[in-house]
Amino acid sequence: MSIFKSLAVAAIAAGALGACQTVVEPNPVCDFTKVQEARDNPSSGPVLVSLVPGAHTDMPLNTVNITDVAVTNKILLQATNAQRTETGNVRVWARMVNCTDFALQLEGRTHFLNAGQAPVEGVTAWKRVFMSPRSIGTFTDLSIAAKDVETYLIEIREGT
Amino acid sequence: MRTLKFRSLFVASAVLLAGCQSGNVANAPGTPTAYKDPGTRGLVTGVGIESQDIITMTDKMMRDMMTTPGLVGRAPAPQVLIDATLFENQSSQRINKRLITTRLRGGLQRAAKGRMVFVSRRALDAILKERKLKRRGKVDVGTTGFTRAVAGVDYQLRGEIMDQTKQDPNTGAIERYNMINFEMLDMERGTIIWSGLYEFVKAGQNDAIYR
């Protein structure tokens, strides 16, 4: 009987120890509620507005629009920016975070617009970005036009 | 009574014939031909180089060239030759190399706006014939005047298409690594002044037939 008692105590102790062991989730841990909050409280900057007031929400420029619901809750935009190259063209980049435990394939393209928000050139071709699980991936694009480019809008969708 | 029997037989035959006819005709519209975005994967997809790959690749190369100071920042503008004959298909797949060179040359010509001048050697015979006719006085000079010779080439774009295919003998699954290399060669000094590489892997259970 005492052997059974000892075994039971050992089992309880092992169970308790197991519970103490915390599973550390790999970084980054993503919170998509913040995305909606940020969308509800947009920061100032250039936006594409609807021709019919209120018909669609404002589309912020100089940022990334994730156009595909298949990935809107899988990836997060970490940073985006643009800079002039030596030849005056504009190089844009967007760094994204894969919040899932799976490899993802994305495709991105860029609209380059002038000060009047008219397209300076045709939209770029879709380019692929491969993202390992819980990793960052960077999409880059280059404009053909130089001085006319004032704003940009990157579109991201799931690659097939 | 006899007429009635005959009439009944006639009606029955007509119904039977009509029945036969409706059995043979699939009276429904076929699958309509649809336009597809050439920059996006289509209905039929294999592991080879396809329209979306050509569009992405040429767009990437064109933009890269347009930001290379040695290519677009020179005065006078360099004279460049882009021709399918300078592209080597070392891969196992059938591909019209002009799909790549024509798109690249057209895109660059529109984007460069005089910062690069493109030389055509495909039409050299026609050009030489026209020059001869002008100089013999058979036709007038035109409006651009005479030049001592046709344009020489400063830079020549060369390329290679390579691939490596592997297939699982048990499942038949196929995977292909495609690599397309571009090099802009200085035709006086023999140096490579720009290069670009485009590579991708495609895998699938079945490959498509490319024609």
Q: Which fold does the domain A28-158 belong to in CATH?
A: Immunoglobulin-like (2.60.40)
Domain count across chain B: 1
Q: How far is B59 from chain A (nearest CA, A)?
A: 6
Domain that includes residue B173, residue range: 44-204
State pLDDT tens for residues A106-155. 999 999 999 999 999 999 999 999 999 999 999 999 999 988 999 999 99
Minimum-distance CB partner of B69 among A86, A142, A143:
A86
Read off the pLDDT band of A5 (50, 70, 90).
Answer: confident
The answer to whether position B17 is within a domain reads: no
pLDDT by residue (tens digit) across B165-203?
999 999 999 999 999 999 999 999 999 999 999 999 999
Q: Cβ of A144 and B111 within 8 Å?
A: yes
DSSP string, A28-45: PPP-THHHHHHHHSPPSS
pLDDT, tens digit, 9 for 90 and up, residues B40-90: 888 888 899 999 999 999 999 999 999 998 899 889 999 999 999 999 999
Are the Cβ atoms of B55 and A141 closer than 8 angstroms? no
Over residues B79-109, the pLDDT tens digits come to 999 999 999 999 999 999 999 999 999 999 9
Stronger pLDDT, A4 or B118, i.e. the higher one: B118
* Chain A residues lying within 8 Å of B200, measured CB to CB: 128
> Cα separation of A94 and A75, whole Å?
12
Cβ-defined contact of B60 to A144 (cutoff 8 Å): no
CB spacing of A87 vs B73 below 8 angstroms? yes
Rounded Cα–Cα distance for residues A141 and A85 (Å): 12
Domain ranges of chain A: 28-158
**For residue B16, what pLDDT is reported?**
53
Distance from CA of B55 to the nearest CA of A (A): 6
- The CATH number linked to B134 is 3.40.50
